[in-house]
Chain A
């Protein structure tokens, strides 16, 4: 075989790999195009081109409304306050949970992350039952106030801060701080001049993320804010469902999209810096000292703040007109328990589980494809830009209003070539779209951390590209993949924004049922909502506890 033939073969194999990767990229891209871009565009077209013609006055018209302005201001202010407060309370907790060693630390870490995976509707119900006039904190008169929304934001996002910042803090070499201390820096100076700058990327990235989650929050705002307080997301929902104002909804959607893209850009910039800067050391945690007492007290209070709504929820779900008992739970199995529902809650649980399984499967298969492509580090600049562009594209569902997606499905997938209006696949597909970014974000850093020389070594030993990936990457990815699966499952179980639109009345999921129950008056409806919330929480927390046991450092790192 001459050298020319050898080179030719080499070129063929390179082409083969490239074709394979392109194919792997095309599948999720096609999915995203059909089930994300098209519905969203459809929704936007319907808003901006009501008569088939561009109507630019709509933008000014919608933005000029006093209510729009109020919603915008409220969204931004609440999201900013929510992220600031989450950071303020999350930092001491991150220190305690990742830099100190004490019995029960693992449990405390799980408690802090739990709210993040709780379905948003459940969080709303929790705070309402805590602050309602009849609740234990009812005397504060905060029912219907904006403060519970803020507290719910913090409750929900504390885990994001603790995980993101704690994960980085854990890897910081304490000797850098010790160097500063020996050179004469007081503990406060050490924190300000050494620790804080080192943590800055994680803090910025956690802050951006929390801001993102707060400003697109839906279930919490809808259950706690009612008609009075709304964020852009809940306003989009109200405009489309209650007022049928598609124009207004479209304008707000675009506005939200722009803001989200901007924030994702910030987040990805700090992420790149963080991956670079992270040189991990072993477990640097130490036993608490006397100087740690203030921060321990603060952390204890924060943990209590996290646990109080949960404990209250469980407690109140057991309260029935005839004293403590399982009455509310028994009612869950009875299809005729309340006129508010068409099916029993147990049936809804079945629906939820079935949809979540389908959605998880979809999200994981697509997520693996995306992660494999996105984790490549091509040498050519254009290819690198392409990869990072893809990375960004698959993050978009995180920021597009789930409501927009849901409504987009309804108005675009209702006629040939794709008439899915009555198809049961609609809900799982929407949920998969929501869960996809989380799967990608869990797998990509792991795949990126694999030294490409390992793959080259395998190839040099005679492994073809597939075989090399199987030998080198599969073992590294197994646990993160399991974790991502669990995470996707938990998120699908709790998904509300898109599901609220798409679930057919005779096949509701549990979050939908909970919302239906709390939006009707009546003690037995509330009792059942609480009981159903407990059931759903137990389901998601169990899944997440299993995930946590896998000890994957980067579940949903952004």
Chain B
């Protein structure tokens, strides 16, 4: 298992990674989630041995990696744009780490076939990287990373360069492949959906520090503060009376401060609260509405498409207890 302890990386005056401690059990996937510039990529590079540590330790299975050069760590690293070797065929790219380890050609070929099968690109061995689409390149990069069965797979925003639908599909596949191969993986991303699809554990990082860490669902359900909540997609935060009204409507114990997702508020004829519709936008599977909720204020919510809503309509509103959180 991977253990990162008190890790600090400085670039001159700025502290990119500030006293970070992480634990990742064998076979699990940890997502480091944070906005761009929060130091998550630097953390990843430091673990890989590509950045100099100013303080702290990185160890795997009890072995301190200080002084172990990158190429002897037994890891793999996958970047957002794949970084395939353009002068090698797809098969040779995947076989690259095996070749480095002196694996005989016949075994290499067999392994390449097996891995291409695994990532859903059978028969691609002789293609050139330049002829592949972005999603295919990422699949090849994944196969290359898995080829030598790394002790730890590091992924730097692996899906960010892809378009939305492809990203969702590849995220699901990635999760499946990582679980199937029992790979221990740490990946950094700014996209919370990606993190929650792929990871068992999530660490939220702001300004070089890890502010919350835990099992994915737990972090999703109970962000520690407003900043984390907003980053995880909670769009509105209310305090005082408004907070109490909302919590009571959701049937939850009272608190002074709540955060809500859009999907926490539904237009529903049985709902306990009244609201005035301010604005609506139709999307494929629902209506997105902006509501002026009595006793609370402006809120974002959803309505099903049974009835078309217009600005000015009075509607009843319910609060979904799984998408509202007391802070």
Which chain A residue shows the least CB distance to B75?
A182
Q: Are B71 and A186 in contact (CB under 8 A)?
A: yes
Is B154 positioned at the interface, with any CB of A under 8 Å from its CB? yes
| Residue from the list B72, B85, B97 in contact with A176, Cβ < 8 A | B85
A284 CB to closest chain B CB (Å) equals 13
A176 to B45: give the CA distance in the assembly, Å.
13
Q: Are A175 and B79 in contact (CB under 8 A)?
A: yes
| Residue from the list A180, A187, A198, A277 in contact with B96, Cβ < 8 A | A180
A520 CB to closest chain B CB (Å) equals 55
Is B77 positioned at the interface, with any CB of A under 8 Å from its CB? yes
Is B239 positioned at the interface, with any CB of A under 8 Å from its CB? no
Is A13 positioned at the interface, with any CB of B under 8 Å from its CB? no
Is A197 positioned at the interface, with any CB of B under 8 Å from its CB? yes
Is B190 positioned at the interface, with any CB of A under 8 Å from its CB? no
Given A178-B50, A193-B96, also A183-B76 (CB < 8 A): yes
Q: Are A184 and B148 in contact (CB under 8 A)?
A: yes
| Residue from the list B45, B71, B74 in contact with A185, Cβ < 8 A | B71
Q: Are B48 and A197 in contact (CB under 8 A)?
A: no
The proximity string for B residues 70-105 relative to A, scoring 1 for CB distances below 8 Å and 0 otherwise, is 111111111100010111000000001100110000
Which chain B residue shows the least CB distance to A276?
B130
Q: Are A176 and B87 in contact (CB under 8 A)?
A: no
Q: Are A182 and B83 in contact (CB under 8 A)?
A: no
Q: Report chain B residues within 8 Å CB of A180.
A: 85, 96
Task: Give residues 190-227 of B contacting A (CB, 8 Å).
Answer: none
| Residue from the list A173, A182, A184, A185 in contact with B154, Cβ < 8 A | A182
Q: Are A194 and B100 in contact (CB under 8 A)?
A: no
The proximity string for A residues 196-214 relative to B, scoring 1 for CB distances below 8 Å and 0 otherwise, is 0110100000000000000
Given A175-B79, A176-B83, A277-B86, also A183-B97 (CB < 8 A): yes
Q: Are A197 and B83 in contact (CB under 8 A)?
A: no
Q: Report chain A residues within 8 Å CB of B48.
A: 178, 182
Q: Report chain A residues within 8 Å CB of B189.
A: none
Is A471 positioned at the interface, with any CB of B under 8 Å from its CB? no
Q: Report chain A residues within 8 Å CB of B49.
A: 182
- Kindly state the interface size class of chain A when it binds its partner: 20 to 34
Q: Report chain A residues within 8 Å CB of B74.
A: 184
Q: Are B101 and A179 in contact (CB under 8 A)?
A: no
A408 to B71: give the CA distance in the assembly, Å.
61
Which chain A residue shows the least CB distance to B145?
A183
Is B139 positioned at the interface, with any CB of A under 8 Å from its CB? no
| Residue from the list A179, A181, A183 in contact with B79, Cβ < 8 A | A179
A183 to B77: give the CA distance in the assembly, Å.
7
A198 to B83: give the CA distance in the assembly, Å.
12
A173 to B77: give the CA distance in the assembly, Å.
15
B152 CB to closest chain A CB (Å) equals 10
Q: Report chain B residues within 8 Å CB of A197.
A: 85, 87
A545 CB to closest chain B CB (Å) equals 31
Q: Report chain B residues within 8 Å CB of A181.
A: 50, 70-71
Q: Report chain B residues within 8 Å CB of A190.
A: 71
Is B144 positioned at the interface, with any CB of A under 8 Å from its CB? yes
Q: Are A183 and B100 in contact (CB under 8 A)?
A: yes
Residues of B in contact (CB 8 Å), total 26
A194 to B85: give the CA distance in the assembly, Å.
7
Is A17 positioned at the interface, with any CB of B under 8 Å from its CB? no
| Residue from the list B79, B85, B101 in contact with A184, Cβ < 8 A | B101
Is A189 positioned at the interface, with any CB of B under 8 Å from its CB? yes
Q: Are B87 and A184 in contact (CB under 8 A)?
A: no
A193 to B100: give the CA distance in the assembly, Å.
10
Q: Are A183 and B96 in contact (CB under 8 A)?
A: yes
Q: Are A184 and B100 in contact (CB under 8 A)?
A: yes
Q: Are B71 and A173 in contact (CB under 8 A)?
A: no
A178 to B148: give the CA distance in the assembly, Å.
16
B130 CB to closest chain A CB (Å) equals 9
Q: Report chain B residues within 8 Å CB of A182.
A: 48-50, 70-71, 73, 75-77, 154
Which chain B residue shows the least CB distance to A179?
B83
- Indicate the member of A176, A181, A193, A198 with the most B CB atoms within 10 Å: A181
A185 to B145: give the CA distance in the assembly, Å.
13
Q: Report chain A residues within 8 Å CB of B83.
A: 173, 175-176, 178-179
A408 CB to closest chain B CB (Å) equals 44
Task: Give residues 136-173 of B contacting A (CB, 8 Å).
Answer: 144-145, 148, 154
Q: Are A178 and B85 in contact (CB under 8 A)?
A: no
A176 to B78: give the CA distance in the assembly, Å.
10
A190 CB to closest chain B CB (Å) equals 8
Q: Report chain A residues within 8 Å CB of B148.
A: 183-184
A185 to B50: give the CA distance in the assembly, Å.
13
Q: Are A178 and B71 in contact (CB under 8 A)?
A: no
Q: Report chain B residues within 8 Å CB of A277.
A: 86
- Indicate the member of B49, B72, B85 with the most A CB atoms within 10 Å: B85
A202 CB to closest chain B CB (Å) equals 13
Q: Report chain A residues within 8 Å CB of B71.
A: 181-187, 189-190
A138 to B97: give the CA distance in the assembly, Å.
54
Q: Report chain B residues within 8 Å CB of A179.
A: 77-79, 83
B86 CB to closest chain A CB (Å) equals 7
Q: Are B79 and A198 in contact (CB under 8 A)?
A: no
Q: Report chain B residues within 8 Å CB of A198.
A: 86-87
B13 CB to closest chain A CB (Å) equals 15
Q: Report chain A residues within 8 Å CB of B154.
A: 182
- Indicate the member of A175, A176, A183 with the most B CB atoms within 10 Å: A183
What are 10 residue pairs bridging A and B, where the CB atoms are less than 8 Å apart in the complex? A180-B85, A181-B50, A182-B48, A183-B71, A183-B100, A184-B71, A184-B74, A185-B100, A190-B71, A197-B85
Q: Could you tell me which B residues sit within 8 Å of A by CB distance?
A: 45, 48-50, 70-79, 83, 85-87, 96-97, 100-101, 144-145, 148, 154
In the complex, the 7 A-B pairs of residues with the closest C-beta atoms, listed nearest first = A182-B77, A183-B97, A197-B87, A181-B70, A176-B83, A179-B83, A184-B100
* Inter-chain pairs besides A182-B50, A193-B85, 7 sampled, C-beta below 8 Å: A175-B83, A178-B45, A179-B78, A179-B83, A184-B71, A184-B101, A197-B87
